[in-house]
Structure formats: C-alpha cells, structure tokens
Chain A
Amino acid sequence: MNLTPRDTDPIGLPRRSFVVASAATMLAGLLEPAHAEAPITQQAAGPTWQNWSGLLHARPAAIATPANEGELQALMARSRGEIRPVGSAHSSSALVPTSGTIVATDRMSGLVSVDRQAMTITAHAGTRLGTLTRLLDAQGLALRNLPDIDTQTLAGAMSTGTHGTGAKLPGLHADLVGLRIVTSDGQVIAIDERRNSEWLPAARVSLGSLGLLSQVTLRVVPGYNLERRVWLLPVEELMEKAPSLAAKHRHFGFFYLPFTGFAAAITQNIYTGSDLVSPPTSDNAVLADLRRMRDWLGHFPQMRRWLAQKLLGQYEPEVERERSHRLLAQDRPNRFNETEWHVPAQRGMDCLRKVISTLEQRNEVFWPMEIRFIAGDDAWLSPFQQDSCSIAVQAAEGEPHDYLLNDFTPIFRAYGGRPHWGKLHTMSATELNALYPRWSDFQRVRHQLDPQGRLLNGHLRRVFGIT
C-alpha cells in the first residue's frame, strides 16, 4: 500500500498545524443572574465561579461586571472586603478565587484611541486579545507578538506575564507603555513615562495586586502576514538544532509528543506576498489519536513508540500563510491543567532532556509538551528578566496532575527556572524573593497602593508571604 500522508494521515496528524498541545481556547465566564446592567449582581444561592479547566472553584459574595472605569471606581470605593479581578479565567494558579467580590472586566472592551505617530494604541483593559487584534488589523496595525491563544483579556495577559514565542520578542507586557488602574479605595491612577513612572516596572506584571486595570496603552506595529512551517523530526535532532532555529526565525517553538521520540517544529516569519493560504485544521483528531495510542498501548511503551515512529515518519511538512493574528493564536478545544516554567535560554535544552526522561517514566502521559523562546525584559515581576526557554507540561482535564508539581518543580528549580504566574506552582515567597532582584521593591509599591491588602486572596498572600 502506498501511503500518502497528506491524503491518508494514518493517525490523523495535522494537515495544517501541529499545535495540538495546549488545549482549551477559552476561558471562563462567570455565573450571574439576568440583571446585565447592574455593576454588582448576586444570586439567591450565591454566585459560583470556576476557571476554564474546571480545577478552581469559588463561591464569591458577588460577581461584579462594571461597564466602564467610572463604574469600576464606584464599585471599588463602596465595596468591602477582598476583591479579585478576572479576565478570561484561564489561569490554573489560584489568582482569582475569593469569598469576596470577583470583578469581571469583559464589559470594558474596545479601542479607546490610536496614536499613529507614536505607534501606540489605548484599549479598555477587558478587551480580549483576539478582539483587539481584529480591531487593529482593520486599521492596518498589529501586536508585535501574541500568545498561542488569544481569548485572554489585556488585563489578564499583562498581569500574569503572558507570552508568545520568539527569541527576540519579549512578553506582551514589555510593549505596555502606560496604564490606568483603579486602586482598592477607588482612586484612578495613570502610570506611564510621564506620570507615576516609578511605578511602571511594577505595574507591567502585577498579578492584579496594585489595582484593577481599566485601560492599557501598548506599542503596536504595522499589520503583517506570516508564513508558518510545521514539520516533524526526532526530538534529539530538534533539540540540537533548537538554538540556531530560535536565532534564525522570528518565531520558533515546538511540541514534543511523549512516547514517540518525535517533535513538531513550528517556525513563523514575516511574509510579504499576498497568496495567503489557510487550510482546515485537524488538531482535535491529532490529540484524540495521541490519547488513543496511550489508552491502547500505554502498558507497552516500546510498542507505542515503535508504532508512533512508523506512522509519524510519513508526515509531510506543511505551510500556511495568513495575517499574523490568525496564525499566532490557534484553537485549543481541549481543557488541561498545566505547569510552565521559564529557564535561562542557554539551559533550556538540557532542562528539557531531564523533563522528558522524567515524564516518560509515566506510561499514562500522552499530552504534548510545549517549548517556546522569549526575550528578556525588565519588569520587576517578569519571569523573563533574561532570555528564556519556556517549557510547559500539561495533563488532560480530569486526569491526575499532581505529578506536574511533584515531579517537575525540583527539575525546573535546579535549572534556575521561574514559574509562569498563571500556571500551577507551589513557590513560596522566600523562594521567589531569591529569584526576583526587585521583589521587595514590588512589595513596597503594592503596600503603597493597596495598604489594606484588599486585592490579596489566599493564594497571593502565600505567594507574597503576607500573613
């Protein structure tokens, strides 16, 4: 039989892209009754909240949905007790859960202004990245980079150090040049290079602990097309090539497919042609097939690896050309829990080898690992204060995930890693203090802007070491 991978696709490998790994696009909404205009709403049995993966749950006293900065200001001034913001509820770490008030910013959405001379835009902080990039594209503008999903709000993405991939491209927060926050006592404070500039490096990544973001001002670039190439190769070969691929391409990242020995490499570069092509995706089928191979051959890792290699060896490279925002962010239709760490770039592949060997001691694993590259920046709580390699280990929703912390935390720590603020981690304030040179400076600003600690929930109190 003459197998033609693009036609027969033996295990459903991607006809378009191999971004199978991370799943779940989307994020959470919040349960709320029908009074859409009310800034604060309550249900008879009390509102409930959960994050998108379903791991985190809360029964807050109220879920508020302010429509604008004025409503947010009034809410902060008159409410009592703990307040936590939520964007798209994508974080696996417990940044949101509170028994006080959860403030959802999704009604505060849209562009405020465009400054073409400065090449900056100002947007309401609840604007989802995907919404913003559509609005920008209509004006011939774009963000310099995007994470691999785009349903996060600007506020959530900035506050957690959200990032894409590109060895010369920093996290999104590095393009933040100004913001407006509403503090816990209802004051509106502008922070930019002219006003309160000393707070800017603290406010770029703040975990929502300085105030609630109402507007952000970002650097933008002229709109652009990308060409995306995806190909499979043995993971050892790819790890050898990874530093040079990261240096050569605007965007480079890859997925390792556990128990296959193969990885899917993805490069994306500026494309100046107009012949855009965007074939349908079969990512869902890929993930289902990896799971199926685990289900059937999980007890026979050698056979699983042999079969996978026979089938994956047939795969043809793929090419896609599209507007940048349509390629950088993709569909993640399956939910998962995740830990993600950022290690110094030069130690990334050594760390990855250790992570893979540890991961493959568990025959139940099937979910691909995602590896990305991020340029350093100087925000005080940025996990990328040096050029970094990001390694994400994920487990399907509903499957055991304790090992994500137990098995991998010691490895990542040994390689000088910093955890993603929005992903699972158990780092203490003492440990974090040792990793972040401006940790105590950040705490000073935080205490200055929120002296009563109303923006701290249990998770943040532990992370910040506040009793």
Chain B
Amino acid sequence: MNMSPSIWNLRRRLLLACWTLLAGCHDAPDPQPTDADLARAETLRPRDGALAAKYERACLLCHSSRRGAPLTGFVPAWTKRAKQGEETLLAHVRDGFNGMPVRGLCTDCSDDELRALIRFMSQPQ
C-alpha cells in the first residue's frame, strides 16, 4: 500500500494518541504477590477446624493462586477492598460481585462464617 508520509505520520499520531488514552484508563492494578506469598497462602488455614474445612472447599482454589482473587494473607491486595468496610465485602460475597460467585461457593456458610472467612483472608497471618 502506498501512503504519503504526511498521511502515515497522521496515522502514527492517531495510534499513539489512542494508545496513550487506552493505557491511561486502566484501573490501578492489584499489587502482585511474590512466589513466596503464593507458597505461604497455600498453607494458611483458619484456626477453627469447621471453618477451615469450608475455606478449603470453597475459598482456597481462587484465593491461594494467581487467579485474580485477592490472595489470602497478602494484605496489599486487600487494602483497597477493606476500605469499603466489612458489610460491603460481606454483601459482595453474599450476592456475588465480579469474579466472586454468589455466597463464595459456600452453600452452607452463615453470614457470620462468611465474615470470619473475610477477616481470615484479609488480615496478616
């Protein structure tokens, strides 16, 4: 394809402008855990045995890997979420929110248990 230099420069400028605009609109990404953070998250469990069982079958899959859900015990990923308040986080779990499935895949969890699981995952261990 033959294009005059002026047209080509115009296209390059447009491309650059679009790229800058697109890049500038990204939400701030979550802090990325290290491999050590991930390895540690794999080992963390609630102290209460019954809660630990529910954590293992409902929460562990997504909250102990690089799957986008905030990592258990990795506080930087929870900071902006914690600012919304526990009741908001509970509502997100109870009703589903973005990748969080309704009731966090824990059919038999009470609201109190969901609160306890949120605290366990979001606080330093």
Q: Select the stretch in A220-228, A287-295, A378-386, A400-408 that faces chain B.
A: A287-295
Q: Given that A34-B112, A109-B57 are contacting pairs, would A12 and B99 also be in contact in the complex, using a CB cutoff of 8 Å?
A: no
Do B99 and A334 touch across chains, with their CB atoms under 8 A apart?
A: yes
Closest to B105 in A: A29
Report whether B98 and A29 are in contact in the complex, using a CB–CB cutoff of 8 Å: no
Residue of B22, B61, B99 near A11 (CB, 8 A) is B22
Residue among B14, B16, B103, B105 with most chain A CB within 10 A: B105
Cβ of A36 under 8 Å from chain B? yes
Q: In the complex, what residues of B have CB within 8 A of residue A283's CB?
A: 68
- Is B57 within 8 A of A106, CB to CB? yes
Contact yes or no, A33 B110, CB < 8 A: yes
| A32–B105 alpha-carbon span in the complex (Å) | 12
How many residues of chain A are within 8 Å of chain B by beta carbon? 55
A131 contacts across to B, CB distance below 8 A: 56-57, 60-61
Annotate B98-121 by CB proximity to A: 1 below 8 A, 0 otherwise.
111111111111111100000000
A331 in contact with B105 (CB, 8 Å): no
Contacts of A239-292 to chain B: CB distance below 8 A: 278, 280-285, 288-289, 292
Interface residues of B in 1-34 (CB under 8 A from A): 14-16, 18-19, 22-23, 25-27, 29, 32
Q: Is B58 close to A, CB under 8 A? A: yes
Seen from chain A, the residues whose Cβ lies within 8 Å of a Cβ on chain B are 1, 8, 10-12, 23-34, 36, 50, 52, 54, 63, 65, 88-89, 104, 106-107, 109, 128, 130-131, 150-151, 278, 280-285, 288-289, 292-293, 307, 310-311, 326, 330-335
Contact A25:B58 (CB < 8 A) given known A31-B102, A52-B102, A311-B19: no
Contacts of A32 in B (CB 8 A): 103, 107-108
Least CB distance from B61 to A in Å reads: 4
CB–CB B108/A307 < 8 A: no
Pairs A–B under 8 Å by Cβ, sample size 8: A10-B19, A29-B109, A30-B103, A50-B102, A106-B108, A107-B108, A150-B61, A280-B32
Chain A residues positioned under 8 Å from B57 (CB to CB): 106-107, 109, 128, 131
Q: Which chain B residues numbered 53 to 110 have a C-beta less than 8 Å away from chain A?
A: 56-58, 60-62, 65-69, 94, 96, 98-110
| Closest Cβ neighbor of B23 among chain A residues | A10
A24–B62 Cα distance when bound, in Å, is: 11
In the complex, the answer to whether B15 meets A307 with C-beta atoms within 8 Å is yes
- How would you classify the secondary structure of chain A's contact residues: helix, strand, loop or mixed? loop
Docked-complex contact A89 and B102, CB < 8 angstroms: yes
Most buried by B among A10, A29, A278: A29
Q: CB-CB < 8 A to A288: which residues of B?
A: 26-27
* Least Cβ–Cβ distance between A42 and chain B, in angstroms: 14
* 8 Å CB contact of A292 from B22, B67, B110: B22
Interfacial chain A residues near B68, Cβ < 8 Å: 25, 281, 283-284, 331, 333
Task: Say yes or no: B22 contacts A36, CB within 8 Å.
Answer: no
A333-B98, A334-B98 in contact; A28/B112 too (CB < 8 A)? no
Contacts of B22 in A (CB 8 A): 10-12, 289, 292-293
Closest to A29 in B: B103
Inter-chain contact B16/A1, CB cutoff 8 Å: yes
| Across-interface contacts of B109 in A (CB, < 8 A) | 29, 36
Q: Which of B62, B102, B108 has the most CB of A within 10 A?
A: B108
CA distance A150 to B60 in the complex (A): 12
Q: In the complex, what's the smallest C-beta–C-beta distance from A333 to chain B, in angstroms? A: 3
User: Which listed residue (B29, B66, B67, B110) contacts A34, Cβ 8 A?
Assistant: B110
Given the interface contacts A26-B62, A131-B57, A151-B105, does A34 sit within 8 Å of B111 by beta carbon?
Answer: yes
Do the beta carbons of A307 and B18 come within 8 Å of each other?
Answer: yes
A323 to chain B, nearest CB (A): 11
Q: Which B-chain residue is minimally distant from A36 (CB atoms)?
A: B108
For residue B102, give the distance in angstroms from its CB to the closest CB of chain A. Answer: 5
Q: Considering only CB atoms, which chain B residue lies closest to A3 in the complex?
A: B19
Q: How far is the CA of A307 from the CA of B15 in the complex (A)?
A: 7
For B106, the chain A residues whose CB sits under 8 A away are 29, 106
Given the complex of chains A and B, what is the CA–CA distance between A335 and B108 in angstroms? 23
In this complex, the member of B14, B26, B67, B112 whose beta carbon has the largest number of chain A beta carbons within 10 angstroms is B67
Instruction: Give the shortest distance, in Å, between B80 (CB) and chain A (any CB).
Output: 15
List of A residues within 8 angstroms of B56 by Cβ: 131
Q: Which residue of chain B lies nearest to A303 when distances are taken between CB atoms in the complex? A: B14
Nearest-CB residue, chain B, relative to A31: B103
With A12-B23, A106-B57 already in contact, the answer to whether A36 and B110 are too (CB < 8 A) is yes
User: Which residues from B are CB-within-8-Å of A331?
Assistant: 62, 66-69, 99
Closest to A314 in B: B19
Q: A25–B124 Cα gap in the complex (Å)?
A: 26
The complex places the Cα of A128 from the Cα of B58 at a distance, in Å, of 9
Q: Contacts of A285 on B, CB cut-off 8 Å?
A: 26, 29
Judge whether B96 and A54 touch: CB under 8 Å.
yes
Least CB distance from B116 to A in Å reads 12
The residue of chain B having its C-beta at the shortest distance from the C-beta of A50 within the complex is: B102
CB contacts (< 8 Å) of B19 on chain A: these are 10-11, 311
Residues of chain A within 8 A (CB-CB) of B23 are: 8, 10-12
With A106-B58, A311-B19 in contact, is A28–B103 under 8 Å at CB? yes
Judging by beta carbons under 8 Å apart, are B107 and A106 in contact?
yes
From A23, A27, A307, A330, contact of B105 by CB (8 A): A27
Which residue on chain B has the smallest CB distance to residue A128? B61
Residues of B near A107 (CB, < 8 A) are 57, 107-108
Q: Known: A32-B107, A34-B111, A128-B61. Is A310-B15 also a contact (CB below 8 A)? A: yes
